[in-house]
């Protein structure tokens, strides 16, 4: 490896650590200070609350990695331009595009690191963080490895196979009603349930009711049934297992399970492809940062280049989220919804690099 390549790698990791460290520290401080009153109100130990905040750091770290990669690349090459190091290299016959090699290596390394973190540390930390949040809120909820949801509300135990948080619909719902001796007195099964005007509307319902002598159950089927439950869609959205809590293998298994059971797991198919696509933003952002600085090094200073890098990262994140939303709404196929932002960013990289001298 050339000395200049080692130098670029060293400087990049120094500024990447600095940028990531500052942003993560600000996140922890601000999030903790905004929640400290809530922790004190519930008489939760402050160190326990701090632990909950720290459990969310791995996920925030990975989500910020593409933007921080762009900023670190911009800072390194802006300082090289400012110190006339780029001019010295050009005077020595070094082609500017040859400096792209360590940037490509950095981008690929960060992409691989993102995959490793999102497959190991992030799911574990996010699962623990969500369990702590449910414990803080005293929610009697259990989510199995296959993302089945079990909820206990007074004398009712609710089992949900699948919850679509976009349409606020339940699929494969079963309600078990018990008496004071915890004896099953009633069971209600429904293929779907939709939240309407404060009540749940069950569809394709089969209801089993215990007889007075408990010798048999009477079954009743109906197309629709309205029931009152102390259960809000927001409660379910906070307890379903999110994509960051699962690795790719678990998501693939869960999608196959839902398909086998006859459900349409469009949300998880989109999230699965998004989980594969987003890490490559680290690679693309590194190249974009390189091109932003060296395509107009005579016209822009460090502050302007950093501002451009932040804007590009924000636009990418906004467009990626927008495409994912279109995928949720089935307006775009899952693959296109997840990879569209990367395709646009790749075209942008190509245009910027064409102007690099």
Q: Give the start-to-end residue ranges of the domains of the chain.
A: 3-129+261-354, 148-240
Reported as a pLDDT band with limits 50, 70 and 90, residue 25 is very high
**CA gap 276, 335 in Å, rounded:** 10
Q: Are 266 and 328 in contact (CB under 8 A)?
A: yes
Q: What is the pTM of this model?
A: 0.79
Q: What pLDDT was estimated at residue 215? A: 66
**CA gap 120, 212 in Å, rounded:** 53
Element (H, E) at 177: strand 169-178
192-249 residue pLDDT tens: 888 887 788 888 898 888 876 666 778 888 888 888 777 777 777 666 777 788 888 8
Q: What pLDDT was estimated at residue 149? A: 80
Count of all residues that appear for the chain in the document:
357
The tally of CA atoms less than 13 A away on the side-chain side of residue 346 is: 8
**CA gap 265, 163 in Å, rounded:** 10
Work out the average pLDDT over 342-357: 85
- Rounded to 5 degrees, φ, ψ at 172 are 65, 60
Q: Which one-letter DSSP state was computed for residue 243?
A: G
Among 30-44, 98-112, 322-336, the least confident range: 30-44
Q: What pLDDT was estimated at residue 198? A: 76
Reported as a pLDDT band with limits 50, 70 and 90, residue 296 is low
Indicate whether 17 pLDDT > 90: yes
Indicate whether 143 pLDDT > 60: no
Reported as a pLDDT band with limits 50, 70 and 90, residue 297 is low
**CA gap 245, 281 in Å, rounded:** 20
Q: Which one-letter DSSP state was computed for residue 133?
A: H
Q: What pLDDT was estimated at residue 280? A: 95
Indicate whether 142 pLDDT > 70: no
Reported as a pLDDT band with limits 50, 70 and 90, residue 322 is very high
Indicate whether 100 pLDDT > 80: yes
């Amino acid at each position: 490896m050339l000395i200049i390549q080692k130098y670029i790698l060293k400087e990049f990791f120094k500024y990447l650590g600095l940028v990531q460290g500052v942003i993560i520290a600000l996140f922890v401080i601000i999030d903790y200070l905004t929640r400290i009153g809530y922790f004190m109100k519930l008489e939760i130990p402050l160190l326990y609350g701090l632990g909950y905040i720290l459990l969310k750091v791995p996920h925030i770290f990975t989500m910020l990695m593409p933007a921080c990669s762009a900023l670190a690349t911009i800072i390194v090459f802006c300082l090289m331009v400012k110190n006339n190091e780029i001019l010295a290299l050009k005077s020595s016959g070094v082609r500017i595009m040859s400096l792209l090699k360590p940037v490509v290596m950095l981008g690929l390394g960060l992409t691989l690191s993102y995959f490793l973190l999102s497959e190991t540390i992030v799911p574990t930390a996010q699962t623990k963080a969500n369990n702590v949040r449910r414990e803080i809120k005293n929610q009697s909820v259990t989510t199995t490895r296959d993302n089945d949801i079990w909820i206990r509300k007074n004398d009712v135990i609710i089992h949900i196979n699948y919850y679509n948080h976009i349409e606020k619909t339940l699929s494969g719902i079963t309600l078990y009603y018990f008496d004071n001796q915890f004896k099953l007195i009633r069971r209600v099964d429904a293929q779907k349930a939709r939240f309407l005007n404060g009540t749940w509307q069950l569809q394709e319902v089969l209801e089993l009711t215990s007889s007075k002598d408990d010798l048999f159950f009477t079954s009743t089927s109906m197309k629709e049934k309205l029931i009152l439950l102390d259960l809000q869609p927001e409660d379910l959205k906070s307890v379903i297992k999110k994509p960051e809590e699962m690795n790719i293998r678990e998501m693939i298994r869960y999608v196959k399970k839902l398909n086998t059971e006859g459900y349409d797991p469009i949300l998880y198919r989109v999230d699965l492809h998004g989980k594969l696509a987003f890490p490559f933003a680290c690679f693309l952002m590194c190249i974009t940062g390189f091109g932003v600085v060296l395509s107009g090094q005579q016209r822009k200073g460090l502050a302007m280049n950093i501002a451009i890098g932040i804007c590009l990262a924000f636009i990418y994140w906004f467009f990626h989220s927008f495409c994912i939303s279109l995928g949720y709404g089935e307006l775009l196929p899952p693959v296109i919804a997840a990879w569209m932002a990367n395709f646009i960013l790749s075209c942008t990289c190509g245009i910027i690099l064409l102007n690099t001298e």
